């Protein structure tokens, strides 16, 4: 059934417009997009699809294949912590931009898991904004659309995320890595070597970024940045790096992760371009160690899973996304990645394969 057919079955009328956006997995470069760093995500095959009908009533009615019934909201509702906030916020942003007036009926189909660190929220917001902009014949481009999507998360949801997720789901394609400078928003597309397989597996540990730990890390980075009188933690001068070494923990650890992670992304880009799979895998392993020890965003269960993945042939592996649960991504050099992933997840009953 197409997304348009799904809308008609749910609401009894055809939609005006449909849109889609993929999930993303960040191969390396975590929690540095709001610190001025270089990041390296790629798009998943899995997408979020939406179909929308617009109307003049100031209401938003949302149906999703993942939930029973419909959610009815006012078009002017503040965020409430409900899953529907992302759709309501996207419609509110579209109205603010003058693309529509009134409200909308929205039908959602998603193959991107929620709370997994693979940008389901950014994909949903982007899919809706993309559909509305197409319907309104808005004069926009993918970068502007990503900035609008980020403002929904920052200003409506209250999540102080950087720009990586929105740029990744808006510009990246499966099989290609997106090199993104999060200060200038300059991008470069690198084909992922054909022999490389990045396997994304949900750890089975659920997490919700709005529970406060992501925001806490953001605030710790901001405190450190201000203490060092720096514009971006990823771009410290030599004097600022020396001063950073004197910061007390946890601030010192946060800066160590941010600075070293930024350097690792530059090295990882070079490894991908030169098809150095061992070098890229080693950088992923170093990235996770930093994420776990200096940034304290992993869990003991995930650390153990990644040790096991490496013991079973993964050249590299790391926790991806905002941290504290969700997905791991592992690098293999084999055509049997699907079999490897199936065998691996069989050892962890709560885990499942997201993408191969």
Residues 6+ apart with CB under 8 A from 313: 332, 334, 340
Integer CA distances (angstroms), 319 to 49, 299, 327, 352, in order: 26, 9, 6, 15
Which residue from 113, 155, 145, 144 is spatially nearest to 19, judged by alpha carbons?
145
CA dist 90 and 237 (Å) reads 39
- In the residue annotation, 139 being an active-site residue is answered as no
In terms of phi and psi (left: phi > 0; alpha: psi -120 to 50; beta: otherwise), the region of 29 is: left
Question: Which residues have C-beta within 8 Å of that of residue 102, sequence separation ≥ 6?
Answer: 54, 55, 56, 57, 58, 75, 95
Catalytic-role residue among 139, 165, 239, 336: 165
Tell me the three state secondary structure of residue 125: helix
Tell me how far apart the terminal alpha carbons of the chain are, to the nearest angstrom: 24
State phi, psi for 352 to the nearest 5 degrees.
-155, 160
DSSP E strands, the chain: 17-28, 38-55, 59-64, 70-74, 103-110, 176-181, 187-191, 197-202, 316-319, 327-332, 352-355
d(CA 208, CA 271): 33
Is residue 39 within 8 Å of 26, Cβ to Cβ? yes
Q: Which two tokens stand for residue 8?
A: 């008609």
Q: Residue 89 in contact with residue 112, Cβ under 8 Å?
A: no
Q: Which residues are catalytic?
A: 165
């Amino acid at each position: 059934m197409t997304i348009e057919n799904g809308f008609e079955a749910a609401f009894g009328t055809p939609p005006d417009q449909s849109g889609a956006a993929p999930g993303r997995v960040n191969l390396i470069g975590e929690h540095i997009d709001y610190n001025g760093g270089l990041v390296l995500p790629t798009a998943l095959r899995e997408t979020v699809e939406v179909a929308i009908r617009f109307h003049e009533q100031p209401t938003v009615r949302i149906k999703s294949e993942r939930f029973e019934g419909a959610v009815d909201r006012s078009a002017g509702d503040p965020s409430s912590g409900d899953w529907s906030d992302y759709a309501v916020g996207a419609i509110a942003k579209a109205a603010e931009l003058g693309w529509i007036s009134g409200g909308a009926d929205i039908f959602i189909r998603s193959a991107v898991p929620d709370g997994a660190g693979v940008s389901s929220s950014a994909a949903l917001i982007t899919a809706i904004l993309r559909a509305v902009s197409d319907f309104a014949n808005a004069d926009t481009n993918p970068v502007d659309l990503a900035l609008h999507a980020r403002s929904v998360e920052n200003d409506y949801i209250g999540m102080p995320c950087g720009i990586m997720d929105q740029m990744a789901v808006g510009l990246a394609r499966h099989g290609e890595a997106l090199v993104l400078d999060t200060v200038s928003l300059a991008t470069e597309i690198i084909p992922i070597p054909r022999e490389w397989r990045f396997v994304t597996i949900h750890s089975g540990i659920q997490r919700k970024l709005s529970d406060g730990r992501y925001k806490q890390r953001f605030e710790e980075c901001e405190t450190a940045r201000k203490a060092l009188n720096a514009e971006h933690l990823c771009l410290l001068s030599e004097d600022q790096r020396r001063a950073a070494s004197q910061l007390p923990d946890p601030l010192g650890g946060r800066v160590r992760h941010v600075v070293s992670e930024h350097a690792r992304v530059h090295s990882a880009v070079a490894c991908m371009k030169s098809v150095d799979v061992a070098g890229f895998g080693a950088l992923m392993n170093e990235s996770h160690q930093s994420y776990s020890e200096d940034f304290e965003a992993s869990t003991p269960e995930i650390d153990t899973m990644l040790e096991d993945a490496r013991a079973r042939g993964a050249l590299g592996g790391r926790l991806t996304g905002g941290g504290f649960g969700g997905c791991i991504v592992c690098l293999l050099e084999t055509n049997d990645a699907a079999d490897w992933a199936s065998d691996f997840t069989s050892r962890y009953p709560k885990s499942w394969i997201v993408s191969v």
